[in-house]
A and B are shown apart, each in its own frame.
Chain A
Amino acid sequence: MKERIRIGCGAGFSGDRLEPALILAQQGELDYLILECLAERTIALAQKRKRQDPTKGYDPLLERRIELLLPVLLANNVRLITNMGAANPVAAAEKIGEIARRLNLSVTVAAITGDDVFSQLTGDEIALETGLPLKTAGSLLSANAYLGTDSILPALATDAQIIITGRVADPSLFVAPLVHEFGWSLADVNQIGQATVIGHLMECAGQLTGGYFADPAKKDIPDMAHLGHPFVDVSIDGTAIFGKVANTGGHLSLATAKEQLLYEVMDPARYVTPDVVADFTQVRLEEVGLNQVKATGGQGHPRPDTLKVSVGYDAGYIGEGEISYAGSNALGRAKLAGAIIQERLANQFTDLRVDYIGSTSVHRRAFGTYPEPYEIRLRVAGRSTTLQQAALVGEEVEALYTNGPAAGGGARKYVHEIVGIVSTLIERTQVSPQVTVFKA
């Protein structure tokens, strides 16, 4: 048994940069590489693609990431664990096999399925967000349970070099290889709590090494154009030391680690995953060297009897339109334009939003007094059940060119199909994860 395991995280979301994972695989001296690519909504969108084409429904960047990484992973004996299977881990595994054959490589891939529980739902289950039956949200598209470490362990017991999952709790992607290597008991709640702290700190990749952090002159981060993603050295007692590859950009400090430890945490004493209810309140973070932070003291309580299920539903369409005003009285002209659109569309949309980009668009008001900006971009958004009506928003904004206030420029219009997400709970006993091994 190894005394120390090194795990890298090369992607923290579906659209993440490609090369940090390659640098980790080449120079990181890793045992495992994790790519976390699945947000709440991503899997519902993937489910729609699978319905249109049964060979699709995995992560859209899977081919590019695997082509880049596969030769290096095999040469350096690094195992890959990723949730890029999204709605279709089996098709993803077959695609990886196809890429390997094209590159004259041989690879074993394990696909984990069983998270898709759509056929088990009636729609009468209660949504956690609304307290109403799921089916009242709209036409249901997908339902995926968050699987845990216990679903990944059987795949790790095979000789697969790549393990591809669908919906799995993000920290479990890290907890699983630790449990596999060190033989920890899943019932040892403090050990699994500490492993979950490690997974939680790692799962957003660059957010631990200076991404989503920098503020010039206040919180400077060097060479962000080449931000290095993190790795962690974990000892058999659970002690973790986070670091990054030498000569990559970014900075890993006590401050970046503190921000990430609390990221998306709803209760620091009860961070619920399928593996454990982790307690972060005794965690000790310590800077032990340049770009090196040590974490100890994660604890936990027994795992819940139920698993969270993410349910996608058809939420119609959002239409958007934008147009810019600049120079004297830019805000005044933009507000006039906004009032014109309100008057023309308000009675046709239950949900219509007018924002002034440069002034109050993302904070929804200004805090304190600031000088009026030189430029303002009007942005209007409306939701509808039909594509045609949603498109009206952009059409009306564009028509301001010749019918609106003076000097409106740069109009753009967009329509997006929207998938909404609600959650419910399912008994653990109703979910049965499976592993399928493919050799190419």
Chain B
Amino acid sequence: MKIKLYDIAHSRAGDKGNTLTLSLIPYKPEDYPLLCDQVTADVVKTHLNAIVAGEVIRYEVPNLPALQFVCHQALTGGVTTSLTMDTHGKSLSYALLELWIDDPNR
């Protein structure tokens, strides 16, 4: 069935210049393989196409376990000169959590 990331994972947004970082941490470690499988860099790039102009790179961090997405050209120029209200992109973790994925085991 389809599930929303918000229901199984949490996330924190960070910024470096014009780059946005988004962690994706499953509440239950047993959901980590599902996230690895379904939430690819391409899926995130497509989901956030209104926000991220550049490349999305995914890092696997199995020791937590968690995924880390590094999204380039995502902060309309960066904290200091952007005209957006959320210049740091601090609210954008919840944009990632709006993603729906397929879970074959639910």
Contacts and interface: CB of A to CB of B under 8 A. Distances in A.
Query: Is B truly associated with A?
Result: yes
Interface of A: 40-41, 129, 212-213, 215, 218-219, 255, 258-269, 280-285, 297, 315, 318, 351-353, 355, 357, 361-365, 367-368, 379, 381-383, 418-421, 423
Nearest to B27: A255
Contact of A263 (B21, B27, B92): B21
Contacts of A367: 47, 95, 98-99
A362 B85 contact: yes
B61 A418 contact: no
Interface string B55-75: 000010101101010100000
Nearest to A283: B63
A383 B15 CA distance: 22
A353 to B, nearest CB: 4
B1 to A, nearest CB: 17
Nearest to B51: A364
Given A255-B10, A255-B25, A420 B50 contact: no
Interface of B: 6, 10-12, 14-19, 21, 23, 25, 27, 47, 50-51, 59, 61, 63-64, 66, 68, 70, 78-81, 83-86, 90-92, 94-95, 98-99
A352 B95 CA distance: 24
Q: Report, nearest first, the 7 A-B pairs whose CB atoms are least far apart.
A: A264-B14, A367-B98, A262-B23, A259-B12, A353-B83, A362-B86, A381-B83
A94 to B, nearest CB: 29
Contact of A285 (B11, B64, B68, B92): B64
A212 B12 CA distance: 8
A268 B18 contact: no
Contacts, number: 117
Contacts of A421: 17, 78-80
B63 A284 contact: yes
Nearest to A380: B83
Contacts of A255: 10, 25, 27
Nearest to B65: A258
Nearest to B6: A218
B91 A382 contact: no
A362 B91 contact: yes
10 contacts: A41-B79, A259-B10, A263-B12, A281-B63, A353-B83, A353-B84, A355-B85, A363-B91, A365-B51, A420-B80
Contacts of B81: 315, 383, 418, 420
A377 to B, nearest CB: 10
Contacts of B70: 266-267
A367 B10 CA distance: 17
A365 B84 contact: no
Contacts of A258: 23, 25, 64, 66
Given A41-B80, A420-B81, A262 B50 contact: no
Contact of A362 (B47, B79, B84): B84
A283 B94 CA distance: 26
A19 to B, nearest CB: 23
Contact of A259 (B23, B27, B78, B99): B23
Nearest to A257: B64
Given A41-B80, A259-B25, A362-B86, 4 more contacts: A258-B23, A262-B61, A318-B83, A418-B81
A269 to B, nearest CB: 8
Contacts of B10: 215, 219, 255, 259
B17 A260 contact: no
A365 B50 contact: yes
A319 to B, nearest CB: 10
Contacts of A266: 16, 19, 21, 70
Nearest to B64: A258
The winner among A40, A213, A285 for most chain B CB atoms within 10 A is: A40
A261 B23 CA distance: 10
A265 B19 CA distance: 10
